[in-house]
Amino acid sequence: MKTGGLFCRNSREKKKEEKEMERLDKFLTSQNICTRKETAQLVKKGLVTVDGVCAKDPGQKLDPEQSRVTVEGKEIAYRRRLYLMMNKPRGVLSASQDKQRKTVLDLLPPELFRRGLFPAGRLDKDTTGLMLITDDGELAHRMLSPKSHVYKRYEARLSKRVSQEDIAAFEKGISQGGEAFAPARLWAEDTPNGPGAIVEIREGKFHQIKRMFEARDNRVLTLKRLKIGGLSLDDTLGEGEVRVLSEAEVKQIFDGKLY
């Protein structure tokens, strides 16, 4: 029995080691450097090295996290997962693709695009501000789950001023159109263009903030997301611009719960 157990462990460890190794052409494709066909051409020309040795086979195995890979003399900085912050502009869909309208992925520069990217959560077409784009489904699920209590902060311009009764109603939780919304935090903050408010919610239901204000006989004129957990929108990003998040910034999503 002990021998059998040892054999099983060795098999699992061997499979784990094999799983960690990756083909050179697949590695370069995942990092959006070139296609598999292009990798073969670069290897043939002697323009790819792995750990200082000129690659001979596009199918050779490497450790993506440990191996040092260069293409045409440039070292490739490996990213297992990619996390991007975008300042989403008005009129763009929070979707991976659409045949008729522009999506947030259409705005990505070629050097940041890779297969598997998607917007983590949705902003309405006319809502602007902080959008997280990633290929990490586990993180997105954790971030969006109401159980995680990751609150999102929005700035709203409204048709009329927020009252103390509105604040109390949001704090208690609002029902509208037969749907209940979890308690949210609200405070008045007028904008240069008129009445406004700051809202923090932990859900992401369809048109949620607009519907909550409608239930209070108010109307959202513009809406901008400022923060997800402890991660704030980079105010140096113009609308439609995007940048890579650091590991520390990704952690801020869960380190800075607002509510």
Q: What is the CATH number of the domain that holds 22?
A: 3.10.290.10
Q: Are residues 223 and 236 in the same domain?
A: no
Predicted local distance difference test score (pLDDT) of residue 75 = 95
Number of independent structural domains in the chain = 3
Predicted local distance difference test score (pLDDT) of residue 4 = 58
Q: Are residues 210 and 250 in the same domain?
A: no
Q: Are residues 175 and 137 in the same domain?
A: no
Percent of the chain with pLDDT over 90: 73
Q: Are residues 37 and 158 in the same domain?
A: no
Q: Are residues 237 and 220 in the same domain?
A: no
Q: Are residues 180 and 240 in the same domain?
A: no
Q: Which of 20, 48, 75 finishes a domain?
A: 75
Confidence band (pLDDT; 50, 70, 90) for 259? very low
- The token duo for 133 is 């784009």
Q: Are residues 102 and 164 in the same domain?
A: no
- Contact (Cβ atoms closer than 8 angstroms) between residue 24 and residue 62: yes
Comparison of pLDDT for 112 and 91, the residue scoring more: 91
Q: Single out the catalytic residue among 51, 57, 98, 124.
A: 124
Q: What is the CATH number of the domain that holds 111?
A: 3.30.70.580
Q: Are residues 160 and 138 in the same domain?
A: no
Residue numbers of the domain that contains 69: 2-75
- Given a cut of 90, whether residue 14 has pLDDT beyond it is no
Confidence band (pLDDT; 50, 70, 90) for 11? low
Predicted local distance difference test score (pLDDT) of residue 16 = 46
Q: Are residues 91 and 126 in the same domain?
A: yes
Confidence band (pLDDT; 50, 70, 90) for 199? very high
- 124 is a catalytic site residue: yes
Q: What is the CATH number of the domain that holds 214?
A: 3.30.70.1560
What rounded mean pLDDT belongs to the chain? 90
Q: Which of 52, 75, 98 finishes a domain?
A: 75
Task: Transcribe the chain into DSSP letters.
Answer: -HHHHHHHHHHHHHHHHHHH-EEHHHHHHHTTS--HHHHHHHHHTT-EEETTEE---TT-EE-TTT--EEETTEEP---SS-EEEEEEPTT-BSSS--SSS-BGGGGS-GGG--TT-EESS---TT-EEEEEEES-HHHHHHHH-GGGT--EEEEEEESS---HHHHHHHHH-EEETTEEE---EEEE--BTTB-EEEEEES---TTHHHHHHHHTT--EEEEEEEEETTEEP-TTPPTT-EEEPPHHHHHHHHH----
Q: Are residues 54 and 105 in the same domain?
A: no
Q: Are residues 43 and 18 in the same domain?
A: yes
- Given a cut of 90, whether residue 101 has pLDDT beyond it is yes
- Given a cut of 60, whether residue 120 has pLDDT beyond it is yes
Q: Are residues 103 and 117 in the same domain?
A: yes
